[in-house]
Structures are given as structure tokens and as C-alpha cells.
Amino acid sequence: MKDNAELVTAGAGTVLPNDDGFYQITIKDKDIFLLVFSPKERGRPVDAAAIKEELNTYSIDKTNHFLISQVINQAAGVPVKIAELVEKKEELVTRQIKIQVTRDRMVAVLESQENQGDNPLTLEDVIGKLKEAGVSFGIDGVAVKKFLADPEMKVVCARGVAPIPGADACIKYYVDFANKGRPVELEDGTVDFKNTRMFFVATENQLLAEKIPATKSIPGMDVFGKKVIIKDGKDLILPVGKNVNIVKNNLMMAGLAGEVVWENNKLAILPVMEIKSDVDLSTGNIEFPGSIIIRGSVQEGFYVKAEGDIDIRGGICGAQVEGKNIKVGMGVFGMEHGYVKATETISAKFIEKANVFAGTDLYVMDVILHSLVNAGEKVIVAGQHGRIIGGTITAGVEIQAAIFGTRSEVGTVLEVGKKIQVCATPDDVKEHQNKIEDEMINNIKADGKIRVDDIAYAGVKIMIGRHLKSLADSVKHATFFVEEEDDKISIGPY
């Protein structure tokens, strides 16, 4: 529709050429006149639809359609008032707004349509639109005010509260598996490559691991005010293996002292540690509260200490070995600084330049050569050619071998019937060697004996209790002992 200014300037309407009828629409003041001329001869009458269409462009209060049709039909060529103009008030269209909600229903975005009205938006308009869209939770009043100040901007007008999922149960380990194989760092910043933490040892009732329980989830709320549910945390089964106990439902404790291992994806304690290689840089030093099987050898500069038995399938080369019962498949090569110490028995194929201490018995297959040996009860070198050559051999009850010493009279000291001092360090060994001939006190009864199956060469020193006998000549197939009534070392048959 046209405003009044346009109507005042309006002239004739559509004029059809030739013999056709035609019309004119004129305006005088506020009155609208319609003038219609009839066609000549075969001309066409005016188009009523065209007249009505043009009239629709004017601001007319009320249109008298009957009168207009009558003027058109009569086509009298006389102007007829058909309507009056009215003043048109400017209508301001309120800007249209749009609410968009994300797929997860957790965010609502407010924006206005482009070029959709000039009437300023009000807070009521926005709230009404939000309600219409169903948005009722998490409405951001500050963001809405920013939008009202600048409708061209797009703002997040509402935010839901995301649900918090429950945390799954997990296991906290107190055994440092992460640093397995890493050498220990010393206080000065250097590292000890002989202590590589290749094996993990636990004492009885030691805490190995703890299950941190799963937690419940916390529901959320979307912008439509609906609760959002999420899953609780998942529980897990503790990986409990052999000799591991569960305490208070969540704690994994060692059922006994031993090696901590993963066995079939379960944490287990083995009372016997098995090392399938040499004890060297690949394993580091070994300390264990149980028993140990070593399928290789113990190399120079390393130590193996166990509260249980130690079974070494190879040998000992300049190393330190301590245990309950120690079995060495090959020999002990002390290299003048290694030692072997057992609270009970030791057995080996040979012993050379080593310090060996057995709480009870020492069994050797071939030879003891230039070594310091202490045994609480017996030292037995078995076999037809079993020898003791050089060094000092001390036993509480008995020393036995096929051969003592050599033809070249290598210094060999055999001592029985004395209280045994178990030496633990090379310094202790040296001190013991220096004093062995001078110590004639702290005697046990002089009832020990030394037996030689083949020959004891000249130069061998026999000590029984406080009695000393140096062999000036070789002695064959004999037993050395002390008779109380004679109070001296006697020689009897083997």
C-alpha cells in the first residue's frame, strides 16, 4: 500500500489505447475518484482486476467494492468518489530472534534474524522466546543483557551442567615396577650399575598394592531442565596370585617373604627366586629373604645374599655369596678377595684362593687350594684324589681329604677342635690368619680329628685344640687325634 504523499501526486491510472475502454483514478484532497470510459465499437472494456489492484496500492480506510463494480459496469465517463484516504501510521516490527540448542542439549545460543524489524527487543521478548523453546535451566542473565545491548551479536544464553562420570577403580602399586632394570642413583649423582633393581623382594605382610575404589557418578542437567545420567565407575578384580593376601577388601599384602613377580597376569610372591643367567650387570646384585637358584655363575665384583638356600649351577668368580645352605655346581674361584659364607653347609667342586665359611659342614669334590676355610663341624674333600693344598683349613670336629700339602712342602695349616670364628669381611679374614697360631685359648675339647686317606706331606701343620704338630715327614693313611691321658697329638690308622 502507498502512503499519502504518493497518493497526492498520483495522476491517471491505466489508459488503454485504440478503441478499448479506459479508466482514470484521481485524488482530490482525501477523496479518491474513479472515471471509467466505455470502449468504442469492438474495443475491449476496462479490466476490473487491474483497477482493483491499483486501488490496493492506496491507503484506503474502507473499500466499497460494490460501488467500484457499478462504476466499471456503467462506464459513464463521469468521475465517481469511491473511497477516502486515511493517514497511515508507521508500524515498527519487532526484531525476530532465534534460539539454537546444541545436539547434547547442554548449550543454548541466542541470535537475531538479519533485517527483521527495527523495534528494540526487551528482556520479556527474550525470556518469552526461551520459554517457547523450552529452555529453562542455566540461563545466563549477563549474556542476555549483552545481546539486548547489541542484537547483532550471537551469545550463549544458557548452559547446562555436565554430568561427572564415576572414576573407574584403579590399582596403586607400592612395588616400583616402573624403574625395573634402572641402576640405583647414588647421593653424588653417579649410578650403581651393580644394583639395577631387576628383582623385587617383599617381606612378609608387606603392602604390595592398593585398590582405589570406583566412585559414583554425579548427574547433570541440560538447558531444558532434564536430569542427565552418566555411568558410575567400573570396579575391578584385584590381580591376586600365589602367596598374596587381600586385607580389608582393597589391600594386597605379601603372605610370605619372597620375590614379587607377575605370574599369569597376577601379582605373586615366590619363596624361591630363579635367575636364568649369570649374576652380572644384567641382573645386578641380589638380596633375597628366601632361596635362590642361579643357573649361571656369580661374576666378579657382585654379591648374592639370601636368607634361604642358594643353588648356583655355575661357579663363583671373585664374588661375595651369603646364604643358609650354599651349593656351587662348579667351583669357587675367590681371586683373593671373594668369599662364600653359609650359616649351615657349603658344597662345591673346588675352592681356589677363596675365603669360605660354613656354619656346619663344607663338602668339596676335588681340591681346596690356597684358601681360608672355616667350618663349624666338618671339612670333607671327597674322592680318591681330593686334596687340600696351602691355606688354612679350620673345622670344629673333623677335616678329611686324600692328600694334604704337596711334595714341595707348600704351607698348609689344618686345625680342628677350636671355637670357630665366622669371618664376614676380608679384614676379618686377614686378622684371623695372623692370629691363628697364637690363639691357644677358647678351646673346645680337644676331641677333633684330622683324617688323611692317602698322604699328608711334610710341612703340613696339624692343630687340634691347643696342640700343634708340624709334620717333618710325610704320613700316609692316618688319623690325627689327641688322647687326654697323653695330652698330645697322636697318629693312628685311617
What b-and-e string marks burial along 170-192, b requiring 16 or more CB atoms within 10 Å of the CB? eeeeebeeeeeeebeeeeeeeee
Q: What whole-number distance in Å separates Cα of residue 58 and Cα of residue 25?
A: 11
Q: What whole-number distance in Å separates Cα of residue 402 and Cα of residue 388?
A: 8
DSSP 165: P
Question: Which one, of 369, 304, 285, lies nearest residue 331 by Cα?
Answer: 369
Given a cut of 50, the residues of the chain with pLDDT beneath it are 1-16, 90-93, 424, 436-437, 439-444
Neighbours of 10 (CB within 10 A): 15
pLDDT of the residue at 485: 76
Q: What whole-number distance in Å separates Cα of residue 477 and Cα of residue 272?
A: 43
pLDDT tens for each residue of 203-253: 999 999 999 999 999 999 999 999 999 999 999 999 999 999 999 999 999
User: Could you tell me if 364 and 391 are in contact, meaning their C-beta atoms sit under 8 angstroms apart?
Assistant: no
Question: Which one, of 236, 235, 222, 232, lies nearest residue 165 by Cα?
Answer: 232
User: Could you tell me if 310 and 296 are in contact, meaning their C-beta atoms sit under 8 angstroms apart?
Assistant: no
User: Could you tell me if 275 and 286 are in contact, meaning their C-beta atoms sit under 8 angstroms apart?
Assistant: yes
DSSP 38: P
How many whole angstroms from its chain centre is CA 58?
82
Q: Which residue has the cell 597376577?
A: 266
- Domain residue extents for the chain: 4-84, 97-159, 170-268, 331-493
Neighbours of 119 (CB within 10 A): 11
Q: What whole-number distance in Å separates Cα of residue 133 and Cα of residue 137?
A: 12
pLDDT of the residue at 124: 87
Q: List residues bridging with 111 in a β-sheet.
A: 98
C-alpha dist (Å) from residue 301 to 21, 28, 281, 296, 340? 129, 126, 10, 15, 13
pLDDT of the residue at 476: 95
Write the burial class of residue 214 (CB in 10 Å: 0-12 exposed, 13-18 middle, 19+ buried).
middle
pLDDT of the residue at 453: 94
Q: What whole-number distance in Å separates Cα of residue 245 and Cα of residue 207?
A: 10
C-alpha cell at 216: 559414583
Q: What whole-number distance in Å separates Cα of residue 67 and Cα of residue 363?
A: 142
Question: Which one, of 211, 262, 257, lies nearest residue 236 by Cα?
Answer: 211
How many whole angstroms from its chain centre is CA 82?
93
| Kind plus residue range of the DSSP H or E element containing 146 | helix 141-149
C-alpha dist (Å) from residue 219 to 105, 227, 314, 338? 14, 7, 65, 68
Q: What whole-number distance in Å separates Cα of residue 355 and Cα of residue 334?
A: 7
Taking each helix axis as running N to C, give the angle between helix 123-133 and helix 141-149, from 0 to 180 degrees, rounded to the nearest 10.
Answer: 120
Q: What whole-number distance in Å separates Cα of residue 432 and Cα of residue 393?
A: 12
| Kind plus residue range of the DSSP H or E element containing 69 | helix 65-74
